[in-house]
Structure 1
């Protein structure tokens, strides 16, 4: 009998004890990872704030650590980084403050993405058009301009406009409206501190701009060059990379595995990768290799 090759058959074939082990969530694993992550962020923040020798160079790791909070927020939408629901909710809302990504809204946006992955007509990640198709579009994408513009419009629409996206349940509109207004108020207050001190500029604004291209390059690999099919082991890419990148991204480079079985928490994804690797149709050996492949298919 041939081995299963689509995500449904792979997951269905799991023995009950294997499934239970793979989906076991852990406060200990989540808090340990978070403590290391926040420790690195605190060290960069302190170095910049105290103007340690060569402190401007710290804005690069500061920015990368800040923008990659996206991956923690992403995991929190699935309630998987921690066993306790309140920890997942708290972490998601704190990330929203750092990267202007409204957590309640993002949960429904992201669940729709899982349901319609890479469907050009229904995946909300593609609702503003396809992924970059020319070199200028790719460079614009890396700059993060589309993200910041999109988030500003989303926050404003959620706060004061009409929420008409089909994936946003009406019963949650009030929560999303309150969330957007709070985020706008907090960010406006943060910007006003620039009248007194440039600290917000060095610790937050400039690092976010510097770090964004690294996150964009990482995110493009998740589904870029993957076919618009239903099989999650084809429409999502796993990128084999080093421990540092896996740490920053909460093991989300195992992205096909995550889409195949979203209930698997980040710390169990390497084990699930060992099970699924033979069935992966979209896989790259590093982000440099993926980027080179992506650039090769762009028109000259």
Structure 2
């Protein structure tokens, strides 16, 4: 069973937006599927479960298995950003309650908050690459190799998330214009409940006398962050700072495992041009739209290498 979702439900229409697709083609690509969303989510959790088991059972004695398993496990947690992002657009599933629930859960696992992110991300789409209004550009672009490596480590991201979660949980929302008066209470509740989950998990670890919270979540997520930082840096950095979605966003060719765990978000230019297209339709969208985009790169290593070499 599937249904279509109007683009206007996800982002304000832009009268200046170029439209390479016909209305009929876009309607077909806009088809959501709960079945495909649940399959993707189940597979993502299965990868987490298998890699986490291999990490835990080989930790301390078989590093040839433990370390590769940790890398997959850690990135699996970091890549929970992807289902949170997809669900924040309410395109992962046909049912919006399911979208919202998965958005919150995936945010908990990736240390984002889904309710906050939905509002933040809507502004990003509305003001993409606008230095004055795009909230993603509030995080400074690295200007030196040292700043780039710090960004890549995830240290600045962790600090930023801790500050934001604290400020939102305590009602300090003055610096977040995308959080409306009507949504303040629900966003604050979502963040507070998320922090409560972490508190309960820490308490269980302490009572049991086992560092489960660190071994099976915090440390793996730290290991997985650098790869996610590389991916997110590649999406817009070096692209044009204007309102043209054909030039202000990059799509990046990558290996299937990475594309799968990122829910096809490497097709990022396609996503920004038509945010209403669900993740499972993005490869088809790329076939129809790819020739229209300026920035189409051959891998995240290439994009990051080209960025970093200009900092030296």
Question: TM-score band, normalised by the shorter chain?
Answer: over 0.9
Q: Is the 8 A contact 1:236 1:282 kept in 2?
A: yes
Does residue 1:175 correspond to 2:186, yes or no?
yes
Q: Trace 1:6-25 onto structure 2 (pairs within 5 A).
A: 8-11=17-20, 14-25=21-32
Q: Is the 8 A contact 1:240 1:286 kept in 2?
A: yes
**Of the candidates 192, 195, 199, which is equivalent to residue 212 of structure 2?**
199
**Deviation for aligned residue 1:7:** 8.3
Moved more, 192-201 or 114-123: 192-201
Q: TM-score, normalised by structure 1?
A: 0.92
Does residue 1:143 correspond to 2:166, yes or no?
no
After superposition, the C-alpha distances for 1:132-185 in whole angstroms (9 at most, x for unaligned) are 111001000011112111111111111113212211111000011111211222
Question: How many residues get paired?
Answer: 291
Q: TM-score, normalised by structure 2?
A: 0.89
**Deviation for aligned residue 1:188:** 2.1
Aligned to 2:4: none
Distance, in Å, in 1 between the alignment partners of 2:106 and 2:42 is 15
3-state SS in 2 of match to 1:251: coil
**Deviation for aligned residue 1:19:** 1.5
3-state SS in 1 of match to 2:94: coil
Aligned to 2:111: 100
Q: Is the 8 A contact 1:59 1:203 kept in 2?
A: no
Distance, in Å, in 2 between the alignment partners of 1:79 and 1:221 is 24
Identify unmatched segments of 5+ residues in structure 2: 1-14
Distance, in Å, in 2 between the alignment partners of 1:74 and 1:91 is 10
Does residue 1:127 correspond to 2:134, yes or no?
no
**Deviation for aligned residue 1:237:** 0.4
**Of the candidates 277, 288, 297, which is equivalent to residue 264 of structure 1?**
277
Identify unmatched segments of 5+ residues in structure 1: 1-5
**Deviation for aligned residue 1:23:** 0.2
Q: Trace 1:37-48 onto structure 2 (pairs within 5 A).
A: 37-48=44-55
Distance, in Å, in 2 between the alignment partners of 1:139 and 1:169 is 35
**Deviation for aligned residue 1:17:** 2.5
Aligned to 1:76: 87
Aligned to 2:9: none
- What root-mean-square deviation, in Å, do the aligned CA atoms of Structure 1 and Structure 2 show? 1.7
Does residue 1:162 correspond to 2:172, yes or no?
yes
